[in-house]
Amino acid sequence: MCASGEEAVVGDVVQGSVGRGQVLIVTQSSLDGQETATVQWTTPLEKVLGISERPARVTVSMRSLTLVSRNRPPQN
């Protein structure tokens, strides 16, 4: 569950400490029941003034994320 109290699923857009990204994988730990998400960040990270690096895939705790928007399947 996200910090906002909502469940995020694969494809949702979330906000984290480094910007926005899309959830690629949601995993629940069998030891403590905590959920983690692998997120593809879409916000470039600035390494030095004027030079940005490509956003990375990072696994983070779901509690550190806020749901921004849902990936809704197309309507038939």
Work out whether strand 51-53 and strand 45-48 pair parallel, antiparallel, or are unpaired: antiparallel
CA–CA dist 32, 55 (Å, integer): 29
CA–CA dist 46, 37 (Å, integer): 23
Model pTM? 0.76
Phi, psi of 11 (to 5 degrees): 100, -20
Structure tokens, 21: 């990204």
Per-residue pLDDT, 75: 53
Q: What is the pLDDT of residues 18-61, one digit of tens each?
A: 889 999 999 887 667 788 999 998 877 676 777 777 777 888 99
Per-residue pLDDT, 28: 84
pLDDT confidence tier of residue 73, bands split at 50, 70 and 90? low
